[in-house]
Structure 1
Amino acid sequence: MATSSSTPSTTGHGPHSAPHGGNPFTPGFGLTPMILAGRDVAIEEFTAALAGNVPEARAILISGARGSGKTVLLTEFRELALDAGWTDLRMHTSSTSLTDELRSQAIARLRELDPEAETSHLTSARISALSASRDVVQRYEGEGEVLTTVLDRLAALTDEDGGGLLITLDELQSVDRDQLHALTQHVQDLIGSGHAVAFIAAGVRTGVDALLDHERTTFLRRAHRIEVGSVDVGTAAEAIRMTIADTAKTITPEAAVLAGEISQGYPYLIQLIGSKAWQHSGDAETIEIEDVRRARDTVVAAMIKNVHGPALRGLSARKREYLRAMLEDEGPSAVGDIARRMAIDPRNQSTYRERLIEDDLIRPAGRGFVEFSLPYLAEALRHEEREGVGADIEPDRGLTRSHRSRRDPRPR
């Protein structure tokens, strides 16, 4: 796993870096942070793959839970490839046809890169008038060339430039399996032809695992698998400190440690606690421990609403009962105790256990024990018990005049 490093990477190529005067944290999903925590090994391996040292690592499958940094890592890989002179084609699972999108993007790149994309030939000349007329032909207009030919030409041009061709696909779990097979078949053909080609896909772990069970996903099963997740608390605290160090503010060591503890090393929470603590510090030059303490409740509420809420909303009553049975324990829960609390045969609890593990809601914690897999899931379940399934953490309050009312000239 790429999350085992104890020192956060200082690499950050993404387009969302904040200026020195603004809040440097990026708690939105998919936004690239200024400091990538615990991704050193993955970045080093992909850099080596781009250079041709380990070409087998150019096919990568990134998976993990929501908010664990899958899209961020995919974006970082893409930026590394672009810096190395590669050409990228970004596929989208919302496309009606992945192969049609692949062809469209490849042709757009060929129009930019191919010196023979536009040709002309003399059709007539008049010596007395010193004039001539020529026909200009756009090579990549219409549907003249088949996708295989288009991709081979593009890959050859990127090879000549000393780079390669990168194809990326995010939200892999949502893709149509037959379309994915067609896409990866073209990738395999390019690799088999000797071109420098990289393919990176990212998706939610459970959806990716289900996809890989399909008989037509052999290429992805052979891909280099990167499972992203939480980092250790010390790395989280250092990532927060380093992010703030690039600004005009500072953070006390105690505040950084507390922020790392509140984040529990979860990438989304690292950005969120840093952002909220920054906001609470106001115009002060230093973020104090009290700023972090004041941010905790807001951070937990956002985690419950944005991560746990969607996951729990569609959960079956029996799975929810299993999770609530775990609330009686401060640490890991014994599966025998869970079965007793649910009043079911201990052998039958394994069905719910396995399904909840597949849902990324719990994980094994030693022989005969399980624990919640994501931070603050216990708080989310207790909130459900108090307020009901699907209830917001806090009701929206306050009244604000709309733009329309502020433009309305009528007296008030």
Structure 2
Amino acid sequence: MDYDVKDMSLADQGKLKIEWAEATMPVLRLIRKRFEREQPFKGIRATACLHVTTETANLMKTLKAGGADVRLCASNPLSTQDDVAAALVRHEGIPTFAVKGEDNKTYYQHIESAIAHKPHLSMDDGADVVSHLHSKRKDLLRNVIGGTEETTTGVIRLRSMAEKKVLKFPVISVNDADTKHMFDNRYGTGQSTMDGIVRATNRLVCGSTLVVAGYGWCGRGIATRARGMGANVIVTEIDPLKGLEAVMDGFRVMPMDEAAPLGDFFVTVTGNLKVIRGEHFAAMKDGAIVCNSGHFNVELDIPALEKLSKKKLAVRSGVDQYTLKNGRRVSLLGEGRLVNLATAEGHPSSVMDMSFANQALGAEYIVKNYKKLEKKVYPVPADIDKEISRLKLAGMGVSIDKLTKEQVKYLASWEMGT
């Protein structure tokens, strides 16, 4: 079997971690049991480019249980858990191409290895496989029947491709599912980002000023978790509606120019580039800590930070301290990559249970319906979203009410008024 992982001796350790995560992923377990019976992916080759974590491992096991010939590569050079990658190869027989800290050249070599079996399905977190197929490996496009996309950044890229009529197959936007973005982005990113900051720095959040750039679902989660830890939270935004929402939620809102001198911690979650630029780094107080929890590290203008600096020092694992020419020090976490994965372990498995249930069912939907779908980005069907919610509540031991016949009739009626 073809693979590239750091150290196969870590496989047993990775297997235990995968099993630990699986214990709080009841929805995916139920889907796997059905897939084992029905084999919806029999004869289907799938390439997954996702963060190689314990939760992803359970998704890969689910796809394989459904009959898929699956290959996995990393969607970020710093997010791979090397023991998990080894376990997938040794214990699950899944070709995996991922090494934490891999350079850019290796990253794209791993994508090439992952698509070497000529996939029918792509499964992305950031749209790198789709982009690579459309730019470098157009010869493989004729095999692809569709794909799924996990994150906001990838959906933005794919919608741009669809609008320009260059997207060659349909893609399900897992990120648009309520059971993904309302939970994964808000609660998962919120907790795991703060976890990454604390693990990397061991600094006290309580009493500090934390600046969140972007008030989408991820930004809301981070701002809420930071406030819960005692931080004074500032939000920066470019959307007046989201800015207004942040104000109404009790946060201070201002431009980054005004926030830069005030913050002790800075987190970007916008999906855009150069959100924190040279003029902002230059204005920061001595000791400021900067990180990114968006998909790509372009949210921080790192070349500008390097240009402003006279010295760079790795002061802790995952912490690079830049001494600026003005004498102030600014620390960058995780090389500006997703801090929740670069310096921590990513989202809790109970949250990823819903996200990866969407991935699994979205992939099944593509296989069953691709002949009827146009070459564009589709939301997760509403019935899938509701079914995942139902399964999750059942897995948590939570019951909800049902409409009575009288209530059903009332909601369907226009005759019954006040």
Normalised to the residue count of structure 2, the TM-score between the two structures is: 0.32
Larger radius of gyration: 1
Normalised to the residue count of structure 1, the TM-score between the two structures is: 0.32
